[in-house]
Amino acid sequence: MLRMLKTLFIVERTDKKTLFALLAIAIFSLAISIYSYEAELGNPIAEKSNDSLTVKAALNKFQVVDATEDGPGSPLYKNVVQQDTSFTKQGMSLKVNRPELYLESALRLTQLRKDAFMMDEYEKIADIMPQMIENELDYYYYSYLSQLETPPPFAAYTYTHFLMYLLGFVGAFWFITIAIYSSNIMIEDFRHTTLIKGYPIAFDRYVLAKVLVTWSVTCLFLVVLLLFSVPYAFLGEWGSLKDVIAIWNGQVQIHTVLSYSGFAIGYMLLLSLVAIVSSVILNVLVRNVYITIFIQLGLVALPIMFPRLATLAPWYPYHYVNFPALLRGESLMGADPAELSAWMGMVILTVYLLLILALVKWFLSSGRLQRA
């Protein structure tokens, strides 16, 4: 078995498709690192300037009136004016490097938004203001930082923050990428079983070896992705693995860069296995690369086309392939909110993986392969 794994890995790593995929990932990672630095991605001053535009857009929904406490403006209008003032304070505190003042105004802003959700006529501005879960994530994030003895400086260019952004961006498309890459994993073997009948191991063990080797190549993809993102650190600052991020995972949680990155990488490796084994079973059934890809993409697109499916069938595994969206709490947004979480996704995807592995084993041992 070990000799078989070694042989298959040598064949796989020299395959033109694999070499092209590795090159594409390296170029992508390097390009997005340089672009993110040049575009000042993560620059808090620029980000707050962009966020304040939503408040100014909300103000345009109202007729200009006196926003003082005794003025004729509605409570919602006065609330939005105070939000605009909080944004101004945040911008000034960043420019003069006053993290305490920044955190104070940030918490004030989250409280104002929380109050606004309950006010009359909020629906007038609901489409341009942050969702409730987004505000909760901000509140917990800034509350955590405000409890530190020394609030961290809000540096513009840190590799650790970029790393979380990179894993979140790539993680959204990871399942689709691996599903396409592995779509022909067993096509030739299932079309021409005589090609491997001379191997001194059972066919089901050969299939398992192919799955493990393909999965190991996807691990190599992740290594290349991370390795070629390191230039960002030399352009800017390294940051700290103790920096934090607020996520939704059944409840709002605070994670460090290290724990978030570890969770994201583990989730991506699980998604890789699910995509690869799904390709195996589809190869058995349809014997066609394009139909395999079409079915995989269709299964992923189903929850997007029918959002209500999240409340009707929360156990559907393809709700959970875009884990960065789950961690942002996007399942709680929209007309049909559902409390889906990434932890729930890991459990459901693991069970789903075991089921399709059992199905593959049944197909191979029941003679279904030879009859197809």
* CA distance linking residue 198 with residue 92, whole number of Å: 73
- For helices 75-95 and 99-117, give the axis angle rounded to 10 degrees: 160
Q: Among residues 82, 81, 90, which one has the least CA distance to residue 51? A: 90
pLDDT tens track for 78-96: 888 888 888 788 777 877 7
Counted residue by residue, the chain has a size of 372
User: Within 13 Å, how many C-alpha atoms sit on residue 307's CB side?
Assistant: 10
Say which amino acid occupies 353: L
**pLDDT of the residue at 370:** 47
CA-closest candidate to residue 42, choices 168, 172, 167, 154: 154
What's residue 101's pLDDT? Answer: 84
**Long-range CB contacts (< 8 A, 24+ apart) of 283-292?**
283/184, 283/185, 283/186, 283/187, 283/190, 284/186, 284/190, 284/360, 284/363, 284/368, 284/369, 284/372, 285/372, 287/187, 287/190, 287/191, 287/372, 288/187, 289/183, 289/184, 289/187, 292/183, 292/184
Task: Give the per-residue pLDDT at 13.
Answer: 60
Distance in angstroms (rounded) separating the CA atoms of residues 322 and 350: 15
Return the exposure string of 184-198: e unless at least 16 CB atoms fall within 10 Å of the residue's CB, then b.
bbbbebbeeeeeeee
* pLDDT of res. 337: 82
Angle at which helix 203-227 crosses helix 342-365, to 10 degrees, equals 150
Among 92, 15, 27, residue whose Cα is nearest residue 231: 27
Q: What is the pLDDT of residue 273?
A: 95
207, HSE (Cβ side, Cα atoms, 13 Å): 28
Report pLDDT for 119.
84
Q: Are 253 and 137 in contact (CB under 8 A)?
A: no
**Cα 164 off chain centre by:** 9
Q: Model pTM?
A: 0.87
Residues 216 and 9: their CA atoms lie apart, in Å, by 8
- pLDDT of 58 reads 67
pLDDT, mean of each 10-residue run, the chain (372 residues): 58 74 93 84 56 65 57 76 83 78 88 88 80 89 84 71 91 95 81 56 74 90 94 83 87 92 96 94 87 94 89 92 93 82 94 91 63 40
